[in-house]
Amino acid sequence: MSCGYQLRGLQNGDVELAISSVYLTGGEQDAALLALLRQRLQQFGVSEVAGNSLADVRLNIGAIAQSRRVLSVNASAKVSEFELHYSVSYSLAVPEGEAKQRNTSARRDITFDENQVLAKAEEEQRLYQDMRSDAVNTILRVLQRVKLAP
């Protein structure tokens, strides 16, 4: 008997992309995002091409921002919780089409304990990794809606 729990994110069987090639630019400020995006595109049979005239879609990764702000403090005026934020702006265009600017962002809350600094730093990195994965899944869902002219 199963509990019904499923991992979040797109699986290869969940998505079919009408495109077979992409011209990918930008995103150098977050190599992990680019690597994950390239890996996922490859899993869906989409090849990266060197020239935009050869691609079904032009995808430009613009600004990528990662930040953290204090969400709450305890009675001793020490930080007890942070809010993490991750955002990606990108543009998408089909041949002969105008690029459409899009954004995706995510927020996560994390508690902070000064007695567990290393563990909390690792947890923070895992949360950023999770948000990065969510951003890639959002981009894939947008690519899923791309309809190419016959």
Main-chain dihedrals φ then ψ at residue 42, nearest 5 degrees: -60, -40
CATH code, domain with 34: 3.30.160.150
Amino acid, single-letter form, for residue 129 = Q
Contacts of 145 (CB under 8 A, 6+ apart): none
Whether 7 is in a domain gets the answer no
Whether 91 is in a domain gets the answer yes
* Least confident range of 15-19, 51-55, 60-64: 15-19
User: Is pLDDT of 147 > 80?
Assistant: no
Whether 149 is in a domain gets the answer no
Contacts of 137 (CB under 8 A, 6+ apart): 9, 10
Torsion of CA 98, 147, 92, 135, to 10 degrees: 160
Whether 29 is in a domain gets the answer yes
Q: Quote the number of domains for the chain.
A: 1
CA pair distance 141, 10, nearest whole angstrom? 9
**Percentage of the chain lying above the pLDDT 90 cut:** 53
Show the domain range for 125: 14-144
Report pLDDT digits (tens) over 64-122: 999 999 888 888 888 889 999 999 999 998 877 778 899 999 999 998 888 888 988 99
Model pLDDT, residue 128: 94
Which is more confidently placed, 15 or 44? 44
Whether 4 is in a domain gets the answer no
β-bridge partners, 90 = 61, 102
Predicted model pTM:
0.81
Whether 6 is in a domain gets the answer no
Whether 87 is in a domain gets the answer yes
Whether 123 is in a domain gets the answer yes
Task: From residue 137, give the alpha-carbon distance in Å to each of 52, 72, 131, 148.
Answer: 23, 30, 10, 20
